[in-house]
Amino acid sequence: MTNLPPAVVRISRTVWRDGVARETSERASPAETAIAIVYDGGTEAVMMASPQDVEDFAIGFSLTEGIIGAPEEIESLEVVEHADAGLEARMWLKRGLGERLGRRRRNLAGPTGCGLCGIDSLEQAVKPARRVEAGRTFSASEIHEALEALSRAQALNHATRAVHAAGFFRPEAGLIAVREDVGRHNALDKLAGALARAGEGAEDGFVVLTSRVSVEMIQKAAVVGVGLVVAVSAPTALGVRMADEAGITLAAIARSDGFEVFTHHHRIIAAEPEKLAAGGAGQ
């Protein structure tokens, strides 16, 4: 494993207040680097991302882009640093997958958070998401617990105030994993890779996002297999439509005092089932 660049860089800045330069000091800024996703010696994508959790990013990107169906289909993965040019995540796929990849090979440069770079038709942009059948319900209090846990776990954002986060929450275990990145799609890809590498099933938990929910975020969440996506920011109209078609419950504009549910409301209940049962028994 190569020594990755630091995730945080100190940069000089001058602070102005009330029209006057008050001080010159340093500020923590998130690092951003080019990461090339390479399969069998050919570059599939070049994305701008935070230089951390690169293996998770490579595997998660491979899963959410449909390159592979499981981490075991990658025979080897190596992260290589190229001085000031960036990083390569070099993967070699199992026999047969390379031929399939060759039919959809593309070379692209993706700006930070670009989730639709490299497609070659309008149909690909709004391709149907994988249908999610997970039927577990979650309480409003569990959603608020997940939001608070994600906020506490965002170490990089606490330092820089400039990155997105994606987390996976299971009520019985709390926040299982959280990944941060300058790009919101990258953060979700990293989370997908982390869950896949750990063998974590997605049916009993849900994804929590700090970003807006656009169509490609729902497409990626559907690959993860979660039935519920919770977001701090608002969804796009197409994101809502995609969530509805994918069978995903979408709760967004989530704050400490509430949230708004846009699709498949049945997965969210007012209280935990055992509390409801206890309340009924006492009547």
User: Catalytic residue at 117?
Assistant: no
- Say which of 31, 34, 109, 114 is annotated catalytic: 114
Which residue matches tokens 């031929």? 99
Helix, strand, coil in percent for the chain, rounding step 5: 30, 35, 35
**Which two three-digit tokens encode residue 201?**
């099933």
Sign of CA dihedral 178, 171, 200, 206: negative
In the three-class reduction of DSSP (H, G, I as helix; E, B as strand; rest coil), residue 165 is classed as strand
164: how many CB neighbours lie within 10 A of its CB? Answer: 26
140: how many CB neighbours lie within 10 A of its CB? Answer: 16
Q: What are phi and psi of 64, to 5 degrees?
A: -70, -20
- Cα 217 from Cα 235, distance rounded (Å): 10
Contacts of 163 (CB under 8 A, 6+ apart): 30, 50, 154, 156, 157, 180, 181, 182, 187
Please tell me the number of Cα atoms within 13 Å of 208 on its side-chain side: 30
- Across the chain, which distance is largest between two alpha carbons, in Å? 69
Sign of CA dihedral 51, 224, 115, 216: negative
Which sequence positions are flagged as catalytic?
114
